């Protein structure tokens, strides 16, 4: 756990870092590092990781690994609505250890109609 914290600190203070997740080695002092083509991910607003309820998230979907800053939300209904507002494919239920697939947010209509749709879908998902 300390190495992840040190990794994030190194990225934010030094502009970059390398961490071998298999052996915990952080910022080796030999060799050269070259990105694997097509394996780059951009995490915008990485300073969010210094926020108390924000975590570095990683998950697989259809054979691809995703990384992001994930906010921990206690209420299921609120999490579903936030996920839909943010265009997420799914949210993760930590207590049950499974993802909750989300419907696509309504793209047309008034803001009131869009919010009503999200509220109805959140209610349906909470009842299941």
| Alpha carbons 22 and 43: distance in angstroms, whole number | 22
119, exposed or middle or buried, with CB in 10 Å at 0-12, 13-18, 19+?
Answer: middle
SS (H, E, C) 73-100: CCCHHHHHHHHHHCCCCEEEECCCCEEE
Check the CA dihedral 69-73-79-85 and report its sign: negative
Pairing of strands 64-71, 98-101: unpaired
Kind plus residue range of the DSSP H or E element containing 2: helix 2-14
Model-level pTM greater than 0.85?
A: no
How confident is the prediction along the chain (128 residues), in pLDDT tens digits per residue? 567 888 888 887 888 888 887 888 888 888 788 777 777 777 777 778 778 888 877 777 787 777 778 899 999 999 999 999 999 989 999 899 888 999 998 889 999 999 999 999 999 999 97
Give residues with Cβ within 8 angstroms of 10, minimum separation 6: 16, 17, 26, 27
Q: What is the DSSP letter of 123?
A: H
Q: What is the DSSP letter of 47?
A: G
């Amino acid at each position: 756990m300390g190495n992840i914290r040190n990794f994030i600190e190194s990225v934010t203070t030094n502009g970059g870092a390398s961490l071998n997740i298999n052996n915990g080695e952080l910022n080796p002092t030999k060799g050269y590092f070259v990105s694997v083509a097509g394996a780059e991910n951009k995490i915008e607003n990485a300073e969010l990781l210094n926020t108390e309820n924000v975590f570095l998230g990683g998950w697989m979907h259809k054979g691809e690994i995703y990384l992001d800053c994930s906010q921990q939300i206690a209420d299921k209904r609120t999490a579903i609505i936030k996920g839909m507002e943010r265009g997420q494919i799914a949210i993760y239920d930590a207590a049950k250890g499974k993802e909750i697939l989300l419907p696509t947010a309504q793209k047309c209509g008034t803001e009131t109609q869009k919010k009503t749709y999200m509220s109805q879908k959140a209610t349906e998902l909470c009842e299941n």
